[in-house]
Structure 1
Amino acid sequence: MSIDRETPVNCPARVTLDAAQLAFFDALPAEAPSVQSELGCELELGHEGSHAALGQQVDTTTWWIQWTLSASEVNPYTWCPGRGAAPAVDRDELDCALFLGHPGEHSSTTRSREASAAS
């Protein structure tokens, strides 16, 4: 099996949310499925800085779990516009499925959906 160098590979890091983080997400006014207690990093393999996984979206704010080996936290962001100039409101309108200012390459929404379907 060979790896297609054209398609970025996600970082394999995972995080388990604590009770306070799960309670925070459950309290958000969002019409979305509840957050899973274990999430995988959505950034490109070999990225710099902390790992990140989308927790929830409320209106134009996206809540991302960011973690290192020693700590994790929930942070608000807006969607990355990808190669466009203005931030998008809906993930389906994006060239990139990550947060504004993320490290590494842009992640396509198609690749993110395929990764979610495979897990």
Structure 2
Amino acid sequence: MAIHTDDLISCPARITLDAAQLAFFNELPVDAPSVQTELSCELEQGHEGSHAALGQQADTTMWWIQWTLSASEINPFTWCPVKQQPGVPDRDDLECTLFAGHSGKHSSTRRSWHSEEAA
């Protein structure tokens, strides 16, 4: 599979993390920027299922906050395996920056939403 370059609109949903969620992210053993208290959904507009935003990355695990109108939770995921240009060693702007198994279309680090195509 490859990432296609037609721009789409991202989901406008936002979440404000509570004190327990912020404490969880801040206790992860990782040298990373401070966690933002308000996050935007990183999936494409009109996606199915819960909203999702990357909270923190620790080694190869990405901790994503997922939420609906009634609940939220933090879940560990790995990177989505879809690549824009197979065989290129640098992940910047070349691979989907979402989690494996995400709903909807794929995204590059430019936050443009892309449709999936066969490689």
> CA RMSD of the aligned region, Å?
2.0
Q: How many residue pairs were aligned?
A: 103
Stretches of structure 1 lacking an aligned partner (at least 5 in a row): 85-89, 113-119
Stretches of structure 2 lacking an aligned partner (at least 5 in a row): 85-89, 113-119
- Larger relative contact order (C-alpha < 8 A, sep ≥ 6)? 2
SS state at 1:20 partner: helix
Structure 1: which 4+ aligned runs deviate by more than 6 Å?
none
The alignment-based identity, stated in percent, is: 73
- 1:99 aligns with 99
Deviations 1:61-113 (A, max 9, x none): 000000000001100000001148xxxxx85375101000000000011226x
- 2:39 aligns with 39
Is 1:77 aligned to residue 42 of structure 2?
no
Residues 1-119 of structure 1: matches in 2 within 5 Å?
Answer: 6-83=6-83, 92=92, 94-111=94-111
TM-score, normalised by the number of residues in structure 1: 0.80
Higher strand share: 2
TM-score, normalised by the number of residues in structure 2: 0.80
* Change over 3 Å in CA distance of 1:81–1:15 after alignment to 2: same
The answer to whether the 8 A contact 1:66-1:73 is kept is yes
